[in-house]
Amino acid sequence: MATFVPFITRLDTAFWSTVNKKSFTIGSLTNLRSQLQHNDTVGSECSLSLNHESFNSIENSKDLTISGSLLLFNTAEGFKAAATAENKQKLLEAEALKIWNAITSHSWLQNPKLLSTFSIISFADLKKFKYYSLTCVPAFVYPKDIEQEINTVSNYNLDDASLLSYHKKTSSPVFLFSKKSSTILEIFDLKNQSSPDDVVIVIADPSPVPNTAGWVVRNVLAAVAHLHPSWRHCHVISLRSSGSVGIKFKWALPDEQNELTVPKAVGWDKTPYSVNLRDELDPVKLMDKSVNLNVSLIKWRLHPDIKLERYSELKVLIFGAGTLGCNIARSLSGWGIKHFSFVDNSTVSYSNPVRQSLCEFEDARLERGKAETAAAALKRSYPSIQANAYKLTVPMPGHTIDEKDEAELEKDVKKIETLVKEHDVVFLALDSREARWLPTVLATKHRKIAISVAIGFDTYVVIRHGIGLRKDSVPHESTSEAVPYSQLSCYFCSDVTAPGNSTVDRTLDQQCTVSRPGTSFIASGNACELIASVLQYPDPLQTPASPDDNTTMLGSVPHQIRGFLSKFQQILPIVKRFERCVGCGDAIAQQYQQNGWKFVRDVMNSSSKLEKVSGLDELQDSVNAIDIDFEEDDEE
């Protein structure tokens, strides 16, 4: 009994990508073409391969192709309805009728490609990038009970190379070889043949299986049996560039088959084809790969041991979503950092968009909050970023509070502390000295990496605060070259007075930060690269401040970066912690630990409390008590 190798449908990523991009009308037929290969030698099925070029017109095509159609559904229910046994049979019969009409009208002799076609029904879940399909390649079970006898090509006294050359030149899928004249004839001459032994039917066959003809041969045999009802056999060359096969097909007397009765046909896939291409087609996933590639190139080309996962897993909290906060977040996202939270209580003004890289004119016109604007802009620029916005007022020393507002203060302090605990790095990009106080206290308490960034008109400073409490720091031998992380000063360590309300008795123009426009970008870029370097130390929480270029694979890791644009100069001072600091001092931490938000309330109502708790007031008194007598020398 003769067997025929069926088709397997191979729809590559480019095919489904085209489905995504093209505006196909759901439920309508779309013409396709599949280019067949007659040089396959691997596998047990003929390949019906489709890609992005399958949507091009098949007219004037010189390739070995099979034409077909795609019926696309946009719901799973529509696809399931089309895939019922009843509806699949209707579609099969409709396609089989077209082929049978080509056979009975003899038009296939003019265009043998009419004998082969395919239909695909598909459901494309364009949001999840999941695709499902069923393919039908109709083939007649006619004539019945076909048997085969394998022959070598040499038995027919023909040259395999000449047949392949003719096929390549004409792209004809079916043609004849005359045994009498030893010449190649067009398939149209088949109707003039009286004996099946006078000619060999040459069929370009995509079958990869030796001694077994492909699916396309079935309909050719049906056409031959209908054209010559008296024939009981025919000779076929299964033309393959990997080695053609000679086959003699034999069959019994066919049943009476009138022109209006279509023989039974088969050809549906047994099971639906499904594929999830989210990683290949989802634009967000594609951007993920591109962003990862940017930082991966650093690893591949420059620093094979760089720990990129420390960036992608980092959670960053930014106090202040203004000029500095926006630029810091922008820069950090370039390292593949995806987790951001912004804290800011102000709204976007019309002066902001030209200086703040994450806000636009519409944000100012609609008076959107700076935090929500920055978070939304980050997600627009890179959808995989998780950006959160919190419209909170950071409690500040010297900014007095009424008793009726204490409940709200307690709530805000607890929320801010929770945010600090939940993040790995805290950036202080606020526009006043006193606004940095509470975040400094909390970052110290919870041993978080904290970096302050501040700018003046033509100056800037980037400071990474010492880690943890001073009393808990592990003794390290510091040198003039390197100082342990735990011994580094914070933003307030160089102050001998407590921060107070800097807005008192100051006009609006005096309250605004006036700076050269490029200052923020320089300071923010330095802050970004500072944390990038810190994260490459074996234990980031132990990163010493050192000018040594070998501190990490990215180079030195300074404590402070102070820049002066008037001279285009930058210095890298290292300053140790001050035991009586109003920000990171142990006495301040102890008071907050004991009294929590109530301590914050007291500081807000009287910033001098910080001086009393830290011992700064005693230091000030001791300095004032010093009496220096200068002896007068008449001669001098």
d(CA 332, CA 339): 10
427, β-bridge pairs: 318, 451
Half-sphere exposure of 135 (CA within 13 A, CB side): 19
Q: CB count, 10 Å around CB of 24?
A: 17
d(CA 118, CA 92): 9
The one catalytic residue in 512, 528, 581, 584 is 512
- H or E segment to which residue 16 belongs: helix 13-21
d(CA 431, CA 459): 14
Given a contact cutoff of 8 angstroms between Cβ atoms, the answer to whether 521 and 355 are in contact is no
d(CA 485, CA 584): 13
d(CA 543, CA 483): 9
Beta-strand ranges (E) seen in 338-477 are 339-343, 386-390, 425-428, 449-455, 459-464
| 103-112: long-range contacts, CB 8 A cutoff, minimum separation 24 | 103/219, 103/222, 103/223, 103/226, 103/227, 104/226, 104/259, 106/191, 106/227, 108/223, 109/187, 109/188, 109/190, 109/191, 109/227, 110/188, 112/172, 112/173, 112/174, 112/187, 112/220
d(CA 232, CA 237): 17
Given a contact cutoff of 8 angstroms between Cβ atoms, the answer to whether 558 and 530 are in contact is yes
Given a contact cutoff of 8 angstroms between Cβ atoms, the answer to whether 499 and 607 are in contact is yes
Given a contact cutoff of 8 angstroms between Cβ atoms, the answer to whether 340 and 355 are in contact is no
Given a contact cutoff of 8 angstroms between Cβ atoms, the answer to whether 184 and 165 are in contact is no
d(CA 405, CA 413): 12
DSSP character string of 458-502: SEEEEEEPPPS-TTTPPP----SS-B-GGGB--TTTT-SS----T
Residue 298 has what DSSP assignment? H
d(CA 152, CA 250): 17
Query: SS3 of 246, please?
Result: strand
Specify whether 512 is catalytic. yes
Omega before residue 143 within 30° of 0, cis: yes
Alpha helices in 59-170 (DSSP H): 76-82, 85-104, 160-170
**What residues contact 90, with CB distance under 8 A and at least 6 apart?**
none
> Catalytic positions, please?
512
